[in-house]
Chains A and B, each alone.
Chain A
Amino acid sequence: MDQFNENDIGKLLRLKRYEQPPPGYFDDFLHEFHRRQRAELLRQPAWRVWMERAQSFMTELSVPALSSTRMAAAAVLVCAAVLSLKVYQAPENLDLASATVAIHEPRLVAAGSDRPEGVWSLSTPVEARALDLSPFDAMNRRTQTHRHAAPPRYVLDSTPVSYEPASFRF
Chain B
Amino acid sequence: MDQPRTDEDRQLVARTQEGDVAAFDQLVVKYSPRLYGLVYNMTSNHEDTNDLLQDVFSKAYKSIRGFRGKSSFYTWIHSIAVNMTLNFLKKRGRRFNLSLDDVDASVQNDKEFLELTQTSSPVREADLSELQVRLNEAMMKLSDEHRAVVTMFHIQGMPHAEISKILRVSEGTVRSRLFYANRQLQNYLEEFRKNPVS
Q: A residues engaging B (CB < 8 A)? A: 1-6, 8-22, 26, 29-30, 32-33, 36-37, 40, 55-56, 59-60, 67
Contacts A14-B112, A19-B40; A33 near B190 (Cβ below 8 A): no
Residues on the A chain within 8 Å of B132, using CB? 12, 15-16
On chain B, the residues within 8 Å of A33 by CB distance are 28, 54, 57-58
With contacts A17-B155, A20-B102 taken as known, whether A5 is within 8 angstroms of B186 at the C-beta atoms is: yes
Number of interface residues of B (CB under 8 A): 49
A14 touches B186 (CB 8 A): no
Q: Complex formed: what's the CA distance from A1 to B120 in Å?
A: 11
- Any A CB within 8 A of the CB of B113: yes
Q: Are A18 and B19 also in contact (CB < 8 A) when A29-B53, A40-B58, A59-B65 are?
A: no
**What are the 4 A-B residue pairs with the smallest beta carbon separation, nearest first?**
A13-B154, A18-B104, A18-B107, A11-B112
5 other A-B residue contacts (CB within 8 Å) besides A6-B186, A9-B186: A3-B190, A6-B182, A16-B135, A26-B36, A29-B32
From the candidates A4, A16, A29, name the one contacting B41 in the complex (CB within 8 A): A16
With A18-B107, A32-B54, A33-B58 known as contacts, the answer to whether A4 contacts B190 (CB < 8 A) is yes
Q: Which residues of A contact B32 (CB under 8 A)?
A: 26, 29-30
- A29, closest chain B residue (CB): B32
- Of the candidates A9, A19, A32, the one whose C-beta lies within 8 Å of that of B102 is A19
* CB pair B102 A16 closer than 8 Å: no
Residues of A within 8 A of B123 (CB): 4, 8, 11-12
Jot down 12 A-B pairs with beta carbons below 8 A, ordered by A.
A4-B123, A9-B182, A12-B116, A15-B110, A15-B113, A16-B155, A19-B103, A21-B50, A29-B53, A30-B32, A33-B28, A37-B58
Residues of B within 8 Å of A32, CB to CB, are 50, 54
B154 CB contact (under 8 Å) in A10, A30, A56: A10
Please give, as numbers and ranges, the residues of chain B lying within 8 Å of A15 by CB-CB distance. 103, 107, 110, 112-113, 116, 132
How many Å from the CB of B137 to the closest CB on chain A?
A: 13
Give the docked Cα–Cα distance between A145 and B20 (Å): 69
> When the two chains form their complex, are residues A1 and B122 in contact, meaning their CB atoms are under 8 A apart?
yes
Q: B residues 120-173 with Cβ under 8 Å of A?
A: 120-123, 125, 131-132, 135-136, 150, 154-155, 157
